Amino acid sequence: MLKVGIIGKTNAGKTTFFNAVTMLNAEISNYPFTTKTPTYGVGYLKTACVCRELGVKDTPKNSTCIDGWRFIPVEVIDLPGLIKGASEGAGLGIQFISIAAQADVLLHVVDASGSIDSNGKICEPGLGSPLADYYDIEEEIIKWYTKNLVENAEKVSRLIDAKSMPLGKALFEILSGIKVTEKNIADALSRTKLSGVEFGEWEDEDFRAFASEIRYLSKPTIIVANKMDMPVSERNFKGLQDTFGEAFVVPVSADVELVLRRAEKLGLISYIPGEEIFKIKDASMLSAKQKWALDYVRGRMLDKWLRTGVDLAMSAAIFKLMRMNVIYPVEDAKKYSDSKGNVLPDAYMLPHGSTPLDLAKAVHTHLADGFLYAIDATSGFRLPNDYTLRDRDVISIVTARKKPKA
């Protein structure tokens, strides 16, 4: 399962975002460092299901389909908050960054309303600076990556000297555990122009420059501009977009999404995460407080920003930054089903550029070991083995091996 890590300054709203995505009830409060250990949960990524265009009623197994929307599970990790100086032990320190480093993609949550001061304490809205917060936290993360590299420098040297390993391979040996690819390393070496420098000659600033490139190349990151339900947030949001580009900053109100998901769970409204609207089932069932909360949701967030942004942030991270495609493997290409007759049972996320063999490997080793070719189930055509899978492809893999008994 893909892993999404939620990082950011204390009090930015990470746990609120996490609870909204996973509907768990981890502790939320306006005290700094409420979250003391990482929390793991399962969130869902929303994508238009192929069932509608194929005109079939699906029976999903590894995911869920609601009203033609496929929800695919991803692991979400809520991390304790950071503050400036964390690498010198401020707040809870940087001990949990290693867990963020295990994620495939990161959501960096900032308080766009500027309601937290530089120490992470709640202050008058507008006084805090989300831009400064972002840089403070990124600085701590880069320091962690640098420290990790420096601590392993001797090991890298040994691999180069004793095993005659090329620099890139030796670095890969120590960095692969934090989801760094050989390509990330090659790109970082080339961007820093360190490929031509003897590793033994690397200066402190070389380690830092390389670590910084590795952090951004290996861990694509969306900036979640949270607390957009507060009017004061708009100015900071524009500043964030101007600095980092529209594609990387998503306007969000985690709190509003949480209100909607809770109301939906209580049966008060019908709401599909990510939608621009919700419907009140029976207005006479609402207490005055609930009515006020739903009016707030509409007035402060949906009417202005069209959606709460929680779902959009997840999609932007996985579909736009990671360039994942959703593929539906089926056994029976005519019925779009598995051997038990479940229609469109599974939805797999594979990176852009994946081939039918990559899909086979993701589904089961027996499919990969005996892989012969793949069929595009919607057209019935046999696909070339170097075919590049596209989003929403429905694929049947033909294999020489029998499926092992479950």
Ligand X SMILES: Nc1nc2c(ncn2[C@@H]2O[C@H](COP(=O)(O)OP(=O)(O)OP(=O)(O)O)[C@@H](O)[C@H]2O)c(=O)[nH]1
Beta carbons of 323 and 350 less than 8 angstroms apart: no
Q: Does 325 bind ligand X (CB under 6 A)?
A: no
Question: What are the backbone dihedrals phi and psi of residue 390, each rounded to the nearest 5 degrees, phi first?
Answer: -110, 160
277: DSSP letter: -
| β-pair type (105-111, 221-226) | parallel
Beta-sheet strands, E only, within 191-278: 221-226, 249-251, 269-270
> Considering beta carbons, is residue 34 or 270 the nearer one to Mg ion?
34
Q: How far is the CB of 116 from ligand X (least distance, A)?
A: 8
- What's the token pair of residue 365? 């080793």
Nearest to 233 by CA among 385, 111, 365: 111
Spatial separation of the C-alpha atoms in residues 162 and 125, rounded to whole Å: 58
Q: How far is the CB of 346 from ligand X (least distance, A)?
A: 33
Q: Does 227 bind ligand X (CB under 6 A)?
A: yes
290 binds, options Mg ion, ligand X, none, Cβ within 5 to 8 A by partner type: none
CB count in 10 Å sphere of residue 66: 13
End-to-end CA distance of the chain: 21
- What's the token pair of residue 383? 């696909």
274 binds, options ligand X, Mg ion, none, Cβ within 5 to 8 A by partner type: none
Out of 4, 6, 15, 133, name the contact with Mg ion by CB under 5 A: 15
Q: Does 226 bind Mg ion (CB under 5 A)?
A: no
Out of 76, 97, 142, 230, name the contact with ligand X by CB under 6 A: 230
13 binds, options ligand X, Mg ion, none, Cβ within 5 to 8 A by partner type: ligand X
Q: Which stretch binds ligand X (CB under 6 A): 188-196, 214-222, 249-257, 346-354?
A: 249-257
Binding pattern for the stretch 77-96 against ligand X, x by CB under 6 A and - elsewhere: ---xx---------------
Binding pattern for the stretch 19-58 against Mg ion, x by CB under 5 A and - elsewhere: ---------------xx-----------------------
| β-pair type (371-376, 64-66) | unpaired
Q: Does 309 bind ligand X (CB under 6 A)?
A: no
Buried b (16+ CB within 10 A) or exposed e, 288-308: eebeebbeebeebbbeebebb
In three-state secondary structure terms, 134 is: helix
Nearest to 133 by CA among 156, 152, 150, 112: 112
Q: Does 11 bind Mg ion (CB under 5 A)?
A: no
Region for residue 290 given its phi and psi (left: phi exceeds 0; alpha: psi -120 to 50; beta: otherwise): alpha
Return the residue matching tokens 């989300």.
130
> Considering beta carbons, is residue 260 or 394 the nearer one to ligand X?
260
Q: How far is the CB of 226 from ligand X (least distance, A)?
A: 5
Q: How far is the CB of 97 from ligand X (least distance, A)?
A: 13
- What's the token pair of residue 72? 């695919």
Any bridge partners for residue 110, and if so which? Answer: 225
> Considering beta carbons, is residue 11 or 148 the nearer one to Mg ion?
11
251-270: contacts with ligand X (CB under 6 A): 253-255
Beta carbons of 155 and 137 less than 8 angstroms apart: no
47 binds, options ligand X, Mg ion, none, Cβ within 5 to 8 A by partner type: none
Q: Does 33 bind ligand X (CB under 6 A)?
A: yes
171 binds, options ligand X, Mg ion, none, Cβ within 5 to 8 A by partner type: none
Q: Does 11 bind ligand X (CB under 6 A)?
A: yes
Spatial separation of the C-alpha atoms in residues 333 and 338, rounded to whole Å: 9
Q: Which stretch binds ligand X (CB under 6 A): 221-229, 287-295, 363-371, 397-405?
A: 221-229
Question: How wide is the angle at C-alpha 380 spanned by C-alphas 379 and 383, nearest 5°?
Answer: 95
- What's the token pair of residue 318? 């996985």
Q: Does 28 bind ligand X (CB under 6 A)?
A: yes
| Number of residues lying near ligand X (CB under 6 A) | 24
Q: Does 226 bind ligand X (CB under 6 A)?
A: yes
Q: Which stretch binds ligand X (CB under 6 A): 31-39, 195-203, 208-216, 388-396?
A: 31-39
155-184: contacts with ligand X (CB under 6 A): none
Out of 25, 30, 62, 98, name the contact with ligand X by CB under 6 A: 30
- Residues found near ligand X in the complex (CB under 6 A): 8, 10-16, 28-30, 32-35, 80-81, 226-227, 229-230, 253-255
Which residues of the shown chain bind Mg ion in the complex (CB under 5 A)? Answer: 14-15, 34-35
